[in-house]
C-alpha cells in the first residue's frame, strides 16, 4: 500500500491507525504549498482535488481511497480484532460513524478556513465559537473519567481528534478544557503516535533534501 501524507495534517490519523495495526504503507510526502511529492507521481492523478490522505491499495484496480474517516475505518475494519472500530451492523457502529462525521464536519473542516485566514472578522468569530462548542462536547463526554472518547479503548476517532488538533493555528480558545487535554496527553504517549510523528519528520527531511538537490 502507498499512503500520501502532508506535514501536520489529517494524514497523521491514517499513519497512527496503520501503526496501531502494524501495517507499513510506503509513505509519500506531498508539500501542500509547492505541490511537489517525494515520488515522481503527479499528486493530482492520485487525487484530482489535491488533498491528503490518499491510500493506494494493492488490489488489481489499485484502488485510491480518499477521506480520512473512510481510510481509517477501512483499515480498522480489515482488522476488527484490534478493536479500533465497532463492527458494522451494530448500533455501536452507527453511533461511532456519527461521531466520525461530527469530527470531520464540526472540527476538522472548521479549522481549515481559520488556519488559512479566509474569513471575515464575523466569520472568524462564528467559526471559532463553533469549534469551542464542539470541543466542549468532547470534553463533557470525557468528564466521566473514561480514557478515550468512546470508552477505555483507543479507536479511529481518537486518532482523528489528535491529528486535527489545530487550535494553535486556528486560534480557537480551548486550552481551558482539562478533560480534553488530559486525554490528548494519553494519546500522545502512545507508541503509534510517536512513530507517526517520527516517520512524518523523516519524510519531510527527505523531501527537503530532494528539493535542495534538484
Ligand X SMILES: N[C@@H](CCC(=O)N[C@@H](CS)C(=O)NCC(=O)O)C(=O)O
- Residues near ligand X, by CB under 6 A: 6, 9-10, 32, 50-52, 67-68, 104, 112
Could you tell me the smallest distance in angstroms from the CB atom of residue 28 to ligand X? 13
By beta-carbon proximity to ligand X, the closer residue of 63 and 143 is: 63
Nearer to ligand X, 6 or 174 (CB): 6
Q: Is the bond into 99 cis (omega within 30 degrees of 0)? A: no
Name the minimum Å distance from CB 166 to ligand X.
9
Give the C-alpha separation, 138 to 147, whole Å.
Answer: 12
Angle at 143 between CA 142 and CA 144, to 5 degrees: 95
CA 169 to chain centre: 16
Q: Which residue has the CB atom at the shortest distance from ligand X?
A: 51
- How many CB atoms are located within 10 Å of the residue 121 CB? 7
Residue number with CB closer to ligand X (67 or 97): 67
Min separation Cβ 9 and ligand X, Å: 4
Min dist CB 143 to ligand X, Å, is 27
Give the shortest CB-6-to-ligand X separation in angstroms.
5
Nearer to ligand X, 135 or 166 (CB): 166
Mark out the alpha helices in the chain (DSSP H runs). Answer: 11-20, 43-46, 68-78, 91-102, 109-115, 121-141, 156-163, 167-170, 178-188, 191-213
Q: How far is the CB of 58 from ligand X (least distance, A)?
A: 21
Which residue's CB is nearer to ligand X, number 6 or number 99? 6
Categorise residue 8: left if φ over 0, alpha if ψ from -120 to 50, beta otherwise.
Answer: left
Cβ neighbours of residue 86 under 8 Å, at least 6 residues apart?
92, 93, 96
**CA dist., res. 83 & res. 34, Å (int):** 38
The residue among 107 and 149 lying less far from ligand X, judged by its C-beta, is 107
Amino acid at each position: 500500500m502507498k499512503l500520501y501524507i502532508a506535514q501536520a495534517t489529517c494524514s497523521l490519523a491514517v499513519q497512527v491507525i496503520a501503526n496501531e495495526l502494524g501495517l507499513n504503507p510506503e509513505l509519500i510526502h506531498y508539500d501542500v504549498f509547492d505541490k511537489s511529492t517525494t515520488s515522481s507521481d503527479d499528486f493530482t492523478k492520485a487525487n484530482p482535488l489535491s488533498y491528503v490522505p490518499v491510500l493506494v491499495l494493492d488490489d488489481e484496480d489499485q484502488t485510491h481511497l480518499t477521506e480520512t474517516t473512510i481510510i481509517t475505518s477501512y483499515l480498522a475494519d480489515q482488522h476488527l480484532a484490534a478493536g479500533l472500530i465497532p463492527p458494522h451492523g451494530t448500533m455501536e457502529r452507527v453511533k461511532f460513524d456519527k461521531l466520525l462525521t461530527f469530527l470531520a464536519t464540526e472540527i476538522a473542516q472548521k479549522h481549515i478556513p481559520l488556519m488559512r485566514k479566509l474569513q471575515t472578522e464575523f466569520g472568524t468569530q462564528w467559526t471559532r465559537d463553533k469549534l469551542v462548542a464542539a470541543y466542549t462536547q468532547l470534553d463533557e463526554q470525557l468528564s466521566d473519567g473514561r480514557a478515550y472518547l468512546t470508552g477505555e479503548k483507543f479507536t479511529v476517532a481518537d486518532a482523528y481528534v489528535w491529528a486535527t488538533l489545530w487550535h494553535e493555528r486556528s486560534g480557537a480558545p480551548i486550552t481551558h478544557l482539562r478533560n480534553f487535554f488530559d486525554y490528548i496527553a494519553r494519546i500522545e504517549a502512545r507508541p503509534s503516535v510517536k512513530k507517526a510523528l517520527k516517520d512524518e519528520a523523516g519524510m519531510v527531511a527527505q523531501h527537503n533534501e530532494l528539493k535542495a538537490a534538484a
